[in-house]
Amino acid sequence: MNALVRLTVLFLATVVSILVFSGLFETFNALPDLLSNLGNESPHKQTGYLAPIGALFWGVMFRAPWHVFLGTIPLLLIFIALEFGAKARQWVYLSIWVIAGVFAEGLFFGVIFRTVAAILAGLIAGQVFWLLAGRRVGKWRREPTGAVSVKLKRIFGGYRPWNLLAYAIVAFLAYQLAGSLVYGGKMVWVSFISEPDAGVPPYHYKRERDFTVFHKVALLKFPDAKSCLPGDIGDLSPETLKHMDWNKIESTAEAEVCGFRLLGSNPDISYATEWFGAQGMTVPDAFSSATPYKERNGELRVYAKWSVSENGYKFSRPGPLRRLVFFTPYAMTINATWSPDGKKLTDFDVSFLFL
């Protein structure tokens, strides 16, 4: 029983501390904008004072779920390991949270405020974790005392079965982490060792911030158009390019890379509506190949939609943990952008709509 209770405490403390970190990081990151507005007489000066509050809300509501999904299991396993070692000091936990915070948000060392915000938020989140769980590290291994403990021991015949259950949960978490470690290894490879090339056709994006490490890993997995199709598809043609193998897709970044590979392999924008239709998506007449939306810079955009609420996820249904911390979207949308002459695909953006 003790091990299971302690595992629960560590899990809850980790989640709460991640929420604290996410909210404070966004708040600290917004402070430079607030300070820069204090010295001028901008008509928006009063609303500027609310920026940290809005940043705190945004961080907890929108950034925290992603951090909880990605960070809970790795951090939890680290804290579990500390439970079996020598008594950890407070600075150890603070260091863990600072390193995790910088890795998650402060790797943009060119933006000094972002790095400082990650360090400060990590220190405070680490202090919260220390108060909630860290200062009682290892105490669960002591023999319980008191009337309630004696009664539970009499009912369950001892605590060992419950401890075994806790160890089984830890083993399951370690198994789940194994897949993340493999993917993390790929992220390290494409970030610091060998960045993949753009592939065939060359992958293109509008803004630098839209090209993440997840896209780099996706480029490794899908180096060309044929890798996005069923294995027995044969030669490439406008017809075979329609058969995108969505079962291979495991993330939004992979959907964007593969969608770009296949749609961009077509001669021009005139194939877009038919291509999206073959994926089961709807294309409004005002955003179709025949009448694409014209951007200010002259680029042409075709818009397609997939109803998640009616048809389910088009690719990679999220696991149970992610479904717990994320809202379910009601639709997936795709904006495909071409050059002004409609001959070259310049961007393939996948996003989700939430209520």
158 φψ region: left (φ > 0), alpha (ψ -120 to 50), beta (else): left
Tokens describing residue 228: 């996005």
pLDDT at residue 298, rounded to an integer: 95
pTM of the model: 0.63
Give pLDDT, residue 293.
Answer: 96
Q: What residue spans define the domains of the chain?
A: 2-192, 208-353
Q: How many CB atoms lie within 10 A of CB 85?
A: 10
Pinpoint the alpha helices (H) of the chain: 2-38, 45-48, 51-58, 64-83, 90-105, 112-132, 147-156, 160-188, 213-221, 252-263, 272-278, 308-311, 320-325
| Sequence-ordered list of residues with C-beta below 8 angstroms from that of 187, at least 6 positions apart, any chain | 213, 214, 216, 217
Q: Report which DSSP code applies to 251.
A: S
CA distances from 105 to 64, 121, 206, 208 (A): 12, 10, 22, 17
The confidence score (pLDDT) of residue 55 equals 78
Residue with tokens 């069923």: 230
Residue 44 pLDDT level (bands cut at 50, 70, 90): very low
pLDDT of residue 58: 78
Q: What is the residue-averaged pLDDT of the chain?
A: 81
Quickly state the pLDDT bin for 166 (edges 50, 70, 90).
low
List phi, psi (to 5°) of 122. Answer: -65, -40
Q: What mean pLDDT is predicted for residues 128-150? A: 71
d(CA 350, CA 75): 30
